[in-house]
């Protein structure tokens, strides 16, 4: 086979063209890799990604009006909400039919509380109507009877809200999350004293920045010391960083609760030394100070570890060279050493920021009312106020923020290079 001619196809031993055989082997290899990954991929898609997608869907879903009042929604299509008049008898007939069914199935109160998020008072209107509907004359006319039952049925605003929220999908929850609302005149910001979510997002960002900065200030010297010490002693000191990292979050939060209380260890110590008087005990918990101190402690290892892994790779000869060229200690550090640590700072800062922006447990326990984050509000809407749509919309906004940051993190570090411990 030494005299292969140009154009002759190379073949394997069993006569197949080499190219085809290679492609086949490659395909088999790809399939094998995918077969190994598939179980986990399916598992994560089902147990984790599907719930997240479901939450995104819930933040715009609004089938409840159409499901509870199907005939009314159809009848309302004819009505012009800008006309300034209440819909005619046909709509009220549909409303009577729908309400009779809804009261039977006890779904009218759910619809009432849903619409109450958009205009207060509707919840009681639906409850009152539910109680009164059995006494109505089945022969009609229904318009007068409904308005007699509750005069809100005679106002254009009630019908405008009903019409505005009859489509299956609504931007209403998202507008709420942005402190805005849909009114007859289009989208408007809420009155100043009701704008809480933008303020809460702002506070979450501000506190996360404060926590990231304090982690950086405390983490940088430690990472530097660890990288400069000989391996034996730095391994020992590393335990002091890793032990908090491995200790349960709740253990550390309870420790801070014990330390920071007004009758706690730090205040007792300060009173004992005479720095503060017994009456002047410091308030360090259930406010922003508590959140910042406790979360800085909890997230500090996430700053130190990436900084350390970058600093360990920086050769000390650069700083020595700078000094031999006449730089003083500060210039050598600031102009030569510090710029080389910037990738580590970026990685650590983005990581700490991502983690802190979505924190729930620690702010809930030590944050009081002024130190809570947007996540605490999400939890409140899901477990207490049961406004799931708004909770989902706020969650979606938080998720978008985190994903943007994650893309930044991926650019700086790369998800393949995430290291643990």
Partner 1 sequence: MSALPPYASPLQITWYYMFRVICGLIFFFLIFPILVILPLSFNAENFFTFTKEMLALDPAGYSFKHYQDFFTNPDWQQALTNSVLIAPVATILATGFGTLAAIGLSQSHVPYKSAIMAVLISPMIVPLIISAAGMYFFYSRIGLQGTYWGVVLAHAALGTPFVIITVTATLVGFDRSLVRASASLGANPVTTFFKVQMPLIIPGVVSGALFAFITSFDEVVVVLFLGSAGQKTLPWQMFTGLREQISPTILAVASLMVAISICLLTVLELLRRRSERLRGLSPG
CB of 366 to partner 1, least distance (A): 9
Binding window for partner 1 (CB under 8 A); candidates: 29-37, 93-101, 181-189, 276-284? 29-37
CB of 180 to partner 1, least distance (A): 22
Give dist(CA 262, CA 290) in Å, integer: 12
Question: CB-wise, 46 or 74, nearer to partner 1?
Answer: 46
CB of 355 to partner 1, least distance (A): 8
CB of 35 to partner 1, least distance (A): 7
Angle of helix 122-132 versus helix 156-164 axis, rounded to 10: 100
For the chain, the three-class secondary structure string (H helix, E strand, C coil) is CCCCCCCCCCECCCCCEHHHHHHHHHHHHHHHHHHHHHHHHHHHHHHHHHHHHHHHHHCCECCHHHHHCHHHHHHHCCCCCCCCCCCCHHHHHHHHHHHHHHHHHCCHHHHHHHHHCCCCCHHHHHHHHHHHHHHCCCCCCHHHHHHHHCHHHHCHHHHHHHHHCCCCECCHHHHHHCCEEEECCEEEECCHHHCCHHHHHHHHHHHHHHHHHHHHHHHHHHHHHHHHCCHHHHHHHHHHHHHHHHCCHHHHHHHHHHHHCCCCHHHHHHHHHCCCCHHHCCCCCCCHHHHHHHHHHHHHHHHHHHHHHHHCCCCCHHHHHHHHCCCCHHHHHHHHHHHHHHHHHHHHHHHHHHHHHCCCHHHHHHCCCCCCCHHHHHHHHHHCCCCHHHHHHHHHHHHHHHHHHHHHHHHHCCHHHCCCC
Question: CB-wise, 134 or 232, nearer to partner 1?
Answer: 232
Footprint on residues 358-397 left by partner 1 (CB under 8 A): 358-361, 364-365, 375, 378-379, 382-383, 388, 391-392, 395
Question: CB-wise, 279 or 420, nearer to partner 1?
Answer: 420
Query: Does 35 help bind partner 1 (rule: CB under 8 A)?
Result: yes
Kindly tell me which residue out of 26, 184, 196, 325 binds partner 1, with binding defined by CB under 8 A: 26
Kindly tell me which residue out of 8, 80, 105, 416 binds partner 1, with binding defined by CB under 8 A: 416
Footprint on residues 160-179 left by partner 1 (CB under 8 A): none
Kindly tell me which residue out of 1, 6, 40, 139 binds partner 1, with binding defined by CB under 8 A: 40
CB of 404 to partner 1, least distance (A): 12
Question: CB-wise, 102 or 241, nearer to partner 1?
Answer: 241
Footprint on residues 189-228 left by partner 1 (CB under 8 A): 218, 221-222, 225, 228
Question: CB-wise, 141 or 221, nearer to partner 1?
Answer: 221
CB of 408 to partner 1, least distance (A): 12
Q: CA neighbours within 13 Å on the CB side: how many for 123?
A: 8
Give dist(CA 193, CA 133) in Å, integer: 37
Give the x/- contact pattern for partner 1 in 239-278, rule: CB under 8 A. Answer: xxxxxx-xxxxxxxxxxxxxx-x-xxx--x----------
Footprint on residues 299-318 left by partner 1 (CB under 8 A): 300-301, 316
Footprint on residues 109-128 left by partner 1 (CB under 8 A): none
CB of 201 to partner 1, least distance (A): 14
Q: How far apart are the first and last CA of the chain?
A: 57
Kindly tell me which residue out of 102, 177, 357, 372 binds partner 1, with binding defined by CB under 8 A: 357
Footprint on residues 49-108 left by partner 1 (CB under 8 A): 49-55, 58
Question: CB-wise, 71 or 281, nearer to partner 1?
Answer: 281
Q: CA neighbours within 13 Å on the CB side: how many for 298?
A: 26
Question: CB-wise, 87 or 395, nearer to partner 1?
Answer: 395
Question: CB-wise, 26 or 184, nearer to partner 1?
Answer: 26
Question: CB-wise, 190 or 257, nearer to partner 1?
Answer: 257
Question: CB-wise, 347 or 354, nearer to partner 1?
Answer: 354
């Amino acid at each position: 086979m030494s005299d292969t001619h140009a154009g002759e196809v190379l073949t394997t031993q069993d006569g197949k063209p080499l190219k085809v055989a290679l492609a086949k082997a490659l395909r088999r290899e790809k399939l094998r890799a995918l077969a190994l990954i598939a179980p986990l991929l399916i598992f994560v898609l089902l147990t984790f990604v599907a719930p997240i997608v479901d939450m995104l869907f819930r933040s715009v879903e609004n089938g409840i009006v159409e499901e509870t009042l199907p005939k009314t929604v159809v009848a309302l299509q004819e009505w012009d909400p800008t006309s300034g008049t209440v819909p005619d008898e046909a709509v009220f007939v549909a409303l009577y039919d729908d309400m009779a069914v809804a009261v039977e199935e006890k779904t009218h109160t759910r619809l009432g509380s849903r619409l109450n998020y958009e205009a207060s008072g509707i919840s009681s209107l639906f409850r009152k109507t539910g109680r009164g509907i059995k006494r109505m004359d089945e022969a009609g006319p229904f318009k007068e009877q409904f308005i007699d039952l509750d005069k809100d049925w005679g106002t254009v605003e009630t019908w405008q809200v009903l019409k505005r929220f009859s489509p299956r999908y609504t931007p209403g929850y998202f507008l709420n999350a942005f402190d805005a609302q849909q009114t007859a005149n289009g989208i408007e910001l809420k009155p100043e004293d009701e704008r809480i979510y933008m303020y809460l997002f702002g506070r979450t960002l501000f506190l996360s920045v404060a926590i990231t900065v304090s982690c950086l200030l405390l983490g940088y010297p430690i990472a530097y010391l660890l990288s400069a010490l000989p391996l034996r002693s730095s391994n020992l000191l590393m335990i002091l960083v890793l032990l908090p990292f491995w200790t349960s979050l709740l253990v550390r939060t309870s420790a801070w609760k014990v330390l920071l209380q007004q009758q706690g260890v730090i205040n007792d110590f300060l009173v004992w030394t005479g720095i503060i008087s017994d009456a002047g005990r410091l308030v360090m918990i259930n406010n922003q100070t508590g959140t910042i101190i406790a979360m800085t402690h909890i997230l500090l290892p996430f700053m130190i570890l990436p900084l350390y892994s970058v600093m360990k790779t920086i050769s000390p000869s650069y700083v020595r060279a700078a000094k031999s060229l006449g730089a003083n200690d500060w210039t050598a550090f600031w102009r030569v050493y510090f710029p080389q640590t910037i990738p580590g700072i970026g990685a650590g800062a983005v990581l700490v920021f991502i983690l802190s922006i979505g924190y729930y447990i620690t702010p809930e326990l030590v944050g009081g009312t002024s130190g809570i984050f947007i996540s605490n509000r999400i939890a409140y809407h899901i477990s207490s106020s049961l406004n799931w749509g708004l909770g989902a919309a706020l969650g979606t906004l938080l998720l978008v923020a985190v994903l943007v940051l994650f893309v930044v993190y991926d650019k700086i570090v790369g998800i393949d290079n995430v290291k643990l411990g």
